[in-house]
């Protein structure tokens, strides 16, 4: 896999104690430009060719993908004072998706979707990507959903109607970020080839797969930062969706698979020796910058990421986590720890907020996120605050709390996946959840883009 182009962030990451809907969009200008230059943002828009009359307009050279940040999008040339209905439609062999919003055209005749307040829409605040992430369609199985949005190209057509009259139309070709990426499986033999046999637990010495590796190195950037990901199996938050985005930001990704039957506990068991051998394998690769290896874990995998950061602070540069508990949770009914230290289970707790893992020894950035309306783990924000409270803030630290967001705050932004409906659980709001995703991935992307600089 090759990553094209590069980004140039300006300044350090922000320390955010509260992510309001407005503040969540702070670094968008930086990241939209960076994403466009690494071929992350949108792959090819097709206009009708009209140069007069009502039409949809985006800045030149903006390219779109299914992972979509809010970018400038306007309807120009509309009749002042009229009410236009803008609809988005996607038709595929798997089914059809649709969304819509009504806008009142101002005296200028220009409806700027980034600043205009929508009416009769699934979102209440201005959002130029709202018609994309609010698409609703068939419920697909996880594998099909990942192929649909991360590997296929989706032709989403926007139409604007004034009453019964169609006044503008434009199709956006949204390319999946993983369309040209192919991770490879890393086996025990690969780790043993690096003379890490003494680190691996005995039962892993037999030939078997350990994880998957997404290589982000390229001719332009032969050395990349890396992310060790404890995979969150949740739809939309799993590595099938998040690893391609991390790779697009310039980071190689090693994914350790996990199982979670309930979205809170981990049913797999990870041995510290395996984690250490993977970190050693990453740090000795010529295409990985061993000074910038991050650990990632969300939802049920968050406690494992926090444990790894506390266990290997000298090998890891930073942590990206959220939506989960503050320390390893025992798996009921056997109260089995999900982590072994040399074959011996580490201490775990039965309550999600019983104890917070201390990251005092982690010198690099710690990014934590949660939704205040999390119906999967109601104590998620309490857990993030507990972790942050045990740490003296460092440069790049961020605690992102979106009070009205649902559980799935780490799904890549723009994807119409795992968003609450109008009657969302615990009063969760779809737009607030999307804004939390933007805030989280802005922060993660900023740190990785900086680490990827020569």
For residues 224 and 213, what is the distance between their CA atoms, to the nearest angstrom? 13
Which pLDDT score, from 0 to 100, does residue 273 have? 92
Q: How confident is the model at residue 266 (pLDDT cuts 50, 70, 90)?
A: very high
Q: How confident is the model at residue 352 (pLDDT cuts 50, 70, 90)?
A: confident
Evaluated on CA atoms 194, 199, 205, 207, the torsion sign reads negative
Q: Which residues contact 238 (CB under 8 A, 6 or more apart)?
A: 142, 146, 231, 232
For residues 320 and 213, what is the distance between their CA atoms, to the nearest angstrom? 18
Which pLDDT score, from 0 to 100, does residue 240 have? 97
300-321 per-position pLDDT tens digit: 999 999 999 999 999 999 999 9
Which pLDDT score, from 0 to 100, does residue 199 have? 54
- Token pair for 391: 């740490």
Which pLDDT score, from 0 to 100, does residue 5 have? 35
Which pLDDT score, from 0 to 100, does residue 6 have? 35
Higher pLDDT: 219 or 176? It is 176
Residues 286, 219: contact at Cβ < 8 Å? no
For residues 410 and 387, what is the distance between their CA atoms, to the nearest angstrom? 18
Asked if residue 215 has pLDDT above 50, the reply is yes
Q: How confident is the model at residue 48 (pLDDT cuts 50, 70, 90)?
A: very low
Name the phi and psi angles at 210, rounded to 5: -105, -40
180-214 per-position pLDDT tens digit: 888 999 998 888 775 444 455 555 455 789 999 99
Instruction: Of 154-158, 259-263, 273-277, 450-454, give the lowest mean pLDDT range.
Output: 450-454
Instruction: Of 61-65, 135-139, 383-387, give the lowest mean pLDDT range.
Output: 61-65
The mean per-residue pLDDT over the stretch 58-71 comes to 89
pLDDT > 70 in the chain, percent:
84
Coil, helix or strand at residue 186: strand
Which pLDDT score, from 0 to 100, does residue 43 have? 33
What's the 3-state SS for 230-286? ECCCCCCCCHHHHHHHHHHCCCEEEEECCCCCCCCCCCCCEEHHHHHHHHHHHHCCC
How many other C-beta atoms can be found within 10 angstroms of the C-beta atom of residue 217?
Answer: 20
Asked if residue 404 has pLDDT above 60, the reply is yes
Asked if residue 41 has pLDDT above 70, the reply is no
- Token pair for 331: 């798996």
- Token pair for 377: 């783990």
Residues 165, 79: contact at Cβ < 8 Å? no
Q: Are strands 318-322 and 288-298 parallel, antiparallel or unpaired?
A: parallel
Residue 96, beta-bridge partner list: 91
Higher pLDDT: 255 or 3? It is 255
Residue found by looking up tokens 């934590």 in the block: 368
Coil, helix or strand at residue 293: strand
Which pLDDT score, from 0 to 100, does residue 31 have? 43
Asked if residue 34 has pLDDT above 90, the reply is no
Asked if residue 20 has pLDDT above 80, the reply is no
Asked if residue 7 has pLDDT above 50, the reply is no
Residues 339, 346: contact at Cβ < 8 Å? yes
Residues 419, 446: contact at Cβ < 8 Å? no
Asked if residue 401 has pLDDT above 70, the reply is yes
Asked if residue 231 has pLDDT above 50, the reply is yes
Q: How confident is the model at residue 367 (pLDDT cuts 50, 70, 90)?
A: very high
Q: Are strands 153-162 and 165-175 parallel, antiparallel or unpaired?
A: antiparallel
Which pLDDT score, from 0 to 100, does residue 15 have? 38
Higher pLDDT: 454 or 328? It is 328
For the chain, the distance separating the N- and C-terminal CA atoms, rounded to the nearest angstrom, is 20
Name the phi and psi angles at 207, rounded to 5: -65, 120
Average pLDDT in the chain? 86
For residues 132 and 158, what is the distance between their CA atoms, to the nearest angstrom? 9
For 82, counting Cβ atoms within 10 Å of its Cβ (0-12 exposed, 13-18 middle, 19+ buried), the class is: middle
Number of alpha carbons in the 13 Å side-chain half-sphere of residue 225: 27
Coil, helix or strand at residue 441: helix
- Token pair for 135: 């698409």
- Token pair for 309: 């950061």
Asked if residue 233 has pLDDT above 70, the reply is yes
The mean per-residue pLDDT over the stretch 415-428 comes to 83
Q: How confident is the model at residue 23 (pLDDT cuts 50, 70, 90)?
A: very low
Asked if residue 443 has pLDDT above 60, the reply is yes
Asked if residue 224 has pLDDT above 90, the reply is yes
Closest alpha carbon to 14 in 398, 424, 349 = 398
Query: From edge to edge, which strands make up the β-sheet containing 318-322?
Result: 184-187, 209-214, 252-256, 224-230, 288-298, 318-322, 366-371, 398-402
The mean per-residue pLDDT over the stretch 384-391 comes to 96
Which pLDDT score, from 0 to 100, does residue 423 have? 62
Which pLDDT score, from 0 to 100, does residue 188 have? 87
Number of H helices, E strands in the chain: 9, 19
For residues 319 and 308, what is the distance between their CA atoms, to the nearest angstrom? 9
Which pLDDT score, from 0 to 100, does residue 47 have? 42
How far from 293 is each of 62, 127, 278, 296, CA to CA, in Å? 31, 34, 11, 10
pTM, whole model, 2 decimals?
0.88
Residues 119, 79: contact at Cβ < 8 Å? no
Which pLDDT score, from 0 to 100, does residue 19 have? 36
Coil, helix or strand at residue 162: strand
Asked if residue 336 has pLDDT above 80, the reply is yes
């Amino acid at each position: 896999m090759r990553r094209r182009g590069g980004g140039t962030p300006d300044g350090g990451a922000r320390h955010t104690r509260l992510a309001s809907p407005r503040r969540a969009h702070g670094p968008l200008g930086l990241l939209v430009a960076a994403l466009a230059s690494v071929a992350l943002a949108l792959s090819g828009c097709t206009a009708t060719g009209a140069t007069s009359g009502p039409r949809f307009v985006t800045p030149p050279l903006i390219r779109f993908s299914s992972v979509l940040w809010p970018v400038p999008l306007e309807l120009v040339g509309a009749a002042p004072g009229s009410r236009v209905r803008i609809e988005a439609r996607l038709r595929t062999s798997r089914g059809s998706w649709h969304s819509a919003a009504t806008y009142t055209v101002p005296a200028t005749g220009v409806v700027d979707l980034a600043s205009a307040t929508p009416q009769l829409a699934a979102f209440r605040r201005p959002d130029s990507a709202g018609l994309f992430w609010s698409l609703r369609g068939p419920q697909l199985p996880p594998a099909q959903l990942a192929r649909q949005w991360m590997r296929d190209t989706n032709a989403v057509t926007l139409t604007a109607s004034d009453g019964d009259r169609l006044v503008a139309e434009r199709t956006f070709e949204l390319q999946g970020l993983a369309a040209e990426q192919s991770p490879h499986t890393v086996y025990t033999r690969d780790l043993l080839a690096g003379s890490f046999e003494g680190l691996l637990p005995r039962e892993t010495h037999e030939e078997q797969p350990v994880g998957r590796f997404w290589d982000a190195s390229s001719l332009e950037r032969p050395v990349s930062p890396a992310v060790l990901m404890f995979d969150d199996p949740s739809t939309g938050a799993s590595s099938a969706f998040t690893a391609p985005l991390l790779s697009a930001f310039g980071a190689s990704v090693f994914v350790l698979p996990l199982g979670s039957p309930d979205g809170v506990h981990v049913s797999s068991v990870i041995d510290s020796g395996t984690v250490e051998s993977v970190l050693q394998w990453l740090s000795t690769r010529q295409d990985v910058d061993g000074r910038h290896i991050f650990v990632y874990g969300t939802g049920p995998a968050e406690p494992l990421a926090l444990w790894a950061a506390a266990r290997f602070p000298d090998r890891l540069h930073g942590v990206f986590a959220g939506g989960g508990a503050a320390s390893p949770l025992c798996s009921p009914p056997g109260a089995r720890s999900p982590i072994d230290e040399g074959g011996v289970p580490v201490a775990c707790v039965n309550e999600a907020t019983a104890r917070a893992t201390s990251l005092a020894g982690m010198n690099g950035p710690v990014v934590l996120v949660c939704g205040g309306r999390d119906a999967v783990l109601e104590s998620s924000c309490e857990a993030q605050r507990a972790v942050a409270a045990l740490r003296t803030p460092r440069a790049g630290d961020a605690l992102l709390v979106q009070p009205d967001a649902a559980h799935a705050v780490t799904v890549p932004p723009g994807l119409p996946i795992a968003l609450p409906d109008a009657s969302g659980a615990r009063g969760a709001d779809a737009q607030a959840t999307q804004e939390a995703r933007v805030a989280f991935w802005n922060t993660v992307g900023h740190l990785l883009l900086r680490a990827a600089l020569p």
